[in-house]
Structure 1
């Protein structure tokens, strides 16, 4: 076992309590392990890249094959970079059979029901309220929740009654409140003799009598207070995940309580008007059905204008805050562009919002507020982890998903209408878009990085040089020939890491450079911009990585880059700190190695 491997074993055994050598904490990972997030700047001209064009054509072929058998289902799929005005992929399918009360031609302005993607608008609306924090207890705004009617005979305890003072707005948005899913979905309210299936006989009209489903009218706020307290909690808050439509309906009541406006008016003013979109609605205008695609089914089965109500309103309006919205491809792309560009929230608020809040029982899915975050490590050649932020919705015959890939500044929209698709097909379309388009976007980003960053930088006065290159399989920028004042930096990484002042002939440890996202200068005023990058040293081969990971039950246990950055400090500056000077054309002209106090110019 070599020195670096012994060090990692000690680190792992200590559960990331770093081994300290002569007072300097150090840890070593094995093999390329980039930080989570983008490893290069996202491509800004993907539509012009030949690899992206080829991938788009291939994806179009896949969708043509998929929809060839659809007789009465519409499909719209589009993918767009936030750096371009138009999508670099667009696909719309109009089936031969459709309801003539709707559109006859599907395009990017065709309106679809978006079901539970409505929750995204509700949570975003909450985030836009001044002074409201996701850590606030919901009773700060709706104290009357403490007094919900309980079932007769129920005592007040954690098994019968939600602890509303412990339920936060964030827990409602991320399905961690412990509340049940729905008020209206109650078999007792549905027709049928349920005693034939072993259920007990009940008095007349025992169900809630509202809900918008099962041919019932939408629920009102008084009915929430009358009936939802009779539904027992599933978990204590923050125990685990339970998908809750009611939870998002309660968030809409918070919006109304704080804003003083109806939910519909607030969403229009806070989100839809600033976006400039004209095909998104909190509920469907009855006089405008020609803009929507309506499946060719009997009226009582197409669910186009079914009002699922709830979930609650303090006004006479009954829009469904958890699943009643309508939207179009163009409007989805505008929303995604605004989110990733921080046009609605500040950059810091956007970054906070687009983070996981809790894991789920699926190793590939985490939840945000209300993001469904899918994780994949089999798309790019380097096998790194990539997160796709999604929100999916389905209502009998209407299935959709909204996908953001922050690492590539890309938004994707998948909208379907009809009974030949379904939620599995929609997820598959999003997955296929990631599988086919992201490798091409990766190549496009590398091609742009070669022009912008690759090359040799030097300062003859100090005998210092550094070469950056882009390879096809590795992440980030590869650093070679890193010489400072005549000393090979990569060959002395172990001496820096040991920090004891006793220098030995260490092995050469390769390093790579990754963007940190921090920038200064430039912008609207023009002039050069300072762009921050961070170096990371990788030791060990893929075989060594596999050997290390084989000793543990945790996948990719060797990859602890998050704990290794900014560890080699010299007079307050870090040796991995590299700041590039970038001209108005996006091309770097120099590097500032702040830890070494050396300025290099591109040669």
Structure 2
């Protein structure tokens, strides 16, 4: 959808493209509790799990299983209420007419845009909508728009006929024909292809960086404090050291069918994508255990490696070329991140000035001043570097007032969450105190820093001497 049309159709009603649903909107009587108001659902609602429609039509209907349900206490069903198709292990896949005939019998779960409700139905319908918009069947559109351009050679819409594949014993679902349900479940892939797909998303291989940033955002929260939903991202929030540290977002997409489970994890914070795939009778339990083990180990390792690399590039003392100014700034790194350890301007300890200003204006004590990179970089001929291979990157200082008090009772309105509202303030002569520009050479090492509020550029001292003992 995004590769071919961007956000052009995002807010359009799905009935614009599905005549089967358009015909079902003119119902007589009060059907609000038993019939979906399809006119109220947009394409974006389907993609972000906010449509309010059911999870499946018949795929999870246990009435299709050869089990004596009446003996288990359920009422007997007339034959017309038992689905004859669905695409699971006991029934063939539904064709389009059968699917919509059955789908229209299902009641809504909740009103659209209320809260995310997982729906396979939404993505099957999206497959039909993409076919209607493009005039190309979904499987062909997938191949021409995604698989071939990204060289995903071990990913396919249909059962592969070549290659080495993992096929567990028993009813694994490997040969299961999912038919038009495949846009939501049933594709084949390898862990290498899945991870490559995640990396290509991070690298904006097919979308613009602006479109990628818009896509990698939550659209709704869930009942969990650490879990939100995007389009169609399942977004987990954790800490960089798991129990403490800075907040890290993991954009994931999970899937399962038969004895197969898969998980794609994309971390914009670290620029890393990984895939975990399991197969077998215990694949569901296995992927839950393995993913937790991998992430518990990987996230702190990535964080500490990133901090070391940042210190190698940035740590040290920067000073004015005119020694009479007596101006310098020292950067160091600890588990909180890159921070300003010392800041002298014309002989004045400016960190003390910041502390005094915060106290005088009724603010809390500043515990540390962190430097955080932005995605603003100097450009030359469309490239993020200057003619000599150097580049300049904008950073913002975070005047962190949070304290490490494990015994502090939890707060509902945690004041440490207010950093986002203090960016770009205070100002002095229309330049914010937190506005910094770092200069990097061709090798990616910092050579100068501009605390822009000081109207000065400080040059880095000898790199080896300057970096010693700056990482803790």
TM-score scaled to structure 2, two decimals?
A: 0.88
Q: 1:341 aligns with which of 199, 203, 206?
A: 203
* Cα distance in 2, alignment partners of residues 410 and 230 from structure 1: 44
Alignment of 1:306 with 2:169, yes or no, is no
Change (3 A) 1:410 1:552: same
Query: CA deviation digits over 1:341-387, x for unaligned, max 9?
Result: 11121111111111111122233221111111122227358522212
Q: Unpaired segments of 5 or more residues in structure 2?
A: 462-472
CA contact (8 A) 2:235 2:250 kept: yes
CA contact (8 A) 1:491 1:509 kept: no
Alignment of 1:511 with 2:369, yes or no, is yes
Q: 1:467 aligns with which of 327, 330, 342?
A: 330
Alignment of 1:394 with 2:256, yes or no, is yes
CA contact (8 A) 1:492 1:507 kept: no
Alignment of 1:146 with 2:25, yes or no, is no
Q: How do residues 438-457 of structure 1 correspond to structure 2 at under 5 angstroms?
A: 438-457=299-318
- Correspondence for 1:181: 55
* Cα distance in 2, alignment partners of residues 499 and 134 from structure 1: 49
CA contact (8 A) 2:42 2:51 kept: yes
Q: CA deviation at 1:443?
A: 2.0
Query: CA deviation digits over 1:528-581, x for unaligned, max 9?
Result: 1111111011236323x854xx26346x55332112211212232211011111
Q: How do residues 167-246 of structure 1 correspond to structure 2 at under 5 angstroms?
A: 167-184=41-58, 185-246=60-121
Alignment of 1:598 with 2:456, yes or no, is yes
The answer to which of 273-282 and 424-433 deviates more is 424-433
CA contact (8 A) 1:456 1:468 kept: yes
Alignment of 1:268 with 2:143, yes or no, is yes
* Cα distance in 1, alignment partners of residues 185 and 118 from structure 2: 13
Q: CA deviation at 1:279?
A: 0.4
Q: How do residues 67-146 of structure 1 correspond to structure 2 at under 5 angstroms?
A: 125-126=1-2, 128-130=4-6, 132-142=8-18, 144-146=20-22
User: What SS does the aligned partner of 1:264 have?
Assistant: helix
Q: CA deviation at 1:149?
A: 8.4
Q: 1:562 aligns with which of 420, 437, 440?
A: 420
Q: Unpaired segments of 5 or more residues in structure 1?
A: 1-124, 312-319
Change (3 A) 1:382 1:455: farther
* Cα distance in 1, alignment partners of residues 331 and 299 from structure 2: 23
Q: CA deviation at 1:488?
A: 2.2
Q: 1:372 aligns with which of 210, 216, 234?
A: 234
Residues paired across the two proteins, number = 453
RMSD: 2.6
Q: 1:478 aligns with which of 318, 328, 339?
A: 339
CA contact (8 A) 1:399 1:426 kept: yes
CA contact (8 A) 1:149 1:227 kept: no
Query: CA deviation digits over 1:28-50, x for unaligned, max 9?
Result: xxxxxxxxxxxxxxxxxxxxxxx
Q: CA deviation at 1:602?
A: 1.1
- Correspondence for 1:492: 353
- Correspondence for 1:68: none
> Which protein, 1 or 2, shows the higher relative CO under an 8 Å CA cutoff with sep ≥ 6?
1
